[in-house]
Amino acid sequence: MAYNFNNAIIRKLNKSIQNGLSSKNLHPQYKIVINEHSNYIKAIKEAGLKINLLEPLEKYPDSIFVEDPALIYKSNIIILNPFDQTRNGEKDIIKEEIKHLFDNILLVENGFVEGGDILNLNNHFIIGLSNRTNKEGAENLSNILKKLGATVDVCMTPDNILHFKSECSVIDDDVILVSYKMAKLDYLKSNYDLIELPIGEEGASNSLRINDKLLLPDGFIRAEEILSKKYNIIKVKVNEIAKVDAGLSCMSLRW
């Protein structure tokens, strides 16, 4: 199952997070993010995962978002190629930090692709083209994944959504939680069962299913009402982290 995990990789918080990339030109307060990040780690542990903590990288403001420079599939780590130059150097560092945890290291060397644009459902991957992931990067990653035995589809991320997973997440076998914008994608409508969240609760669509728990961003009342009927919810506050366009999935790598 796409949500059964034993381990996670999380990076310790860096003070430079206040200078992270933000589509709204916002700057999170470090002291508040400390608390949010700490609670995130507690939630990951509560979901049953062993955590491998990486040291902070002050040179890279967005480096706590470890999902973007790397992708885990089976016993392989695929090092991706982040688009923004303030993030691109992260891939070389994380490669050295986590290579001992996996059997093989593979690299996307051409084009740009970030983990926030990759949705994984068991042995199938959806890669969303966005401002951070281009066609060349998606094709190169697709070739790697197919050689490892996976299937891949590439589709467009709707306009004004940073990453494909900014407004969708896998919460059950073939069930995807989506915002109203993502619900309009013909590819998703045709292939998966969708749970669409109300307008105004787009931030909750980047939730994180781990084993029998569903980590849900705190503060989204309707989303909690809808999802708590079936899922064992752990609410995690990410209001401050969200100022740099981040959500629950991007702060860890899970396998």
Q: Does residue 1 fall inside a structural domain? A: no
Sheet with 213-217, strands from edge to edge, namely 208-210, 213-217, 232-236
Find the CATH number of the domain harbouring 63.
Answer: 3.75.10.10
Q: What's the number of domains the chain is made of?
A: 1
Q: Judging by beta carbons within 10 Å of its beta carbon (0-12, 13-18, 19+), is residue 122 exposed, middle or buried?
A: middle
91 within some domain: yes
What's the pLDDT at 188? 98
Kindly state whether residue 37 falls inside one of the protein's structural domains: yes
Specify if 232 maps to a domain. yes
Pairing mode, strands 76-79 and 70-73: antiparallel
The pLDDT assigned to 2 comes to 87
Q: What is the pLDDT of residue 67?
A: 98
Provide the residue-wise pLDDT of the chain in tens; the chain has 255 residues. Answer: 789 999 999 999 999 999 999 999 999 999 999 999 999 999 999 999 999 999 999 999 999 999 999 999 999 999 999 999 999 999 999 999 999 999 999 999 999 999 999 999 999 999 999 999 999 999 999 999 999 999 999 999 999 999 999 999 999 999 999 999 999 999 999 999 999 999 999 999 999 999 999 999 999 999 999 999 999 999 999 999 999 999 999 999 999
Residue 150 is assigned to a structural domain of this protein:
yes
pLDDT at 102: 98
Tell me if 114 is assigned to some domain: yes
Tokens 């998966």: give the residue. Answer: 192
Residue 88 lies in a domain: yes
Give bridge partners of residue 187 from the DSSP assignment.
none
Sheet containing 151-156, strands listed edge to edge, beginning at the edge strand earlier in sequence: 118-121, 124-129, 151-156
Residue 2 included in any domain: no
Q: What is the pLDDT of residue 234?
A: 98
Distances (CA, A) of 41 to 9, 77, 131: 10, 22, 29
Structural domain for 117, as ranges: 7-254
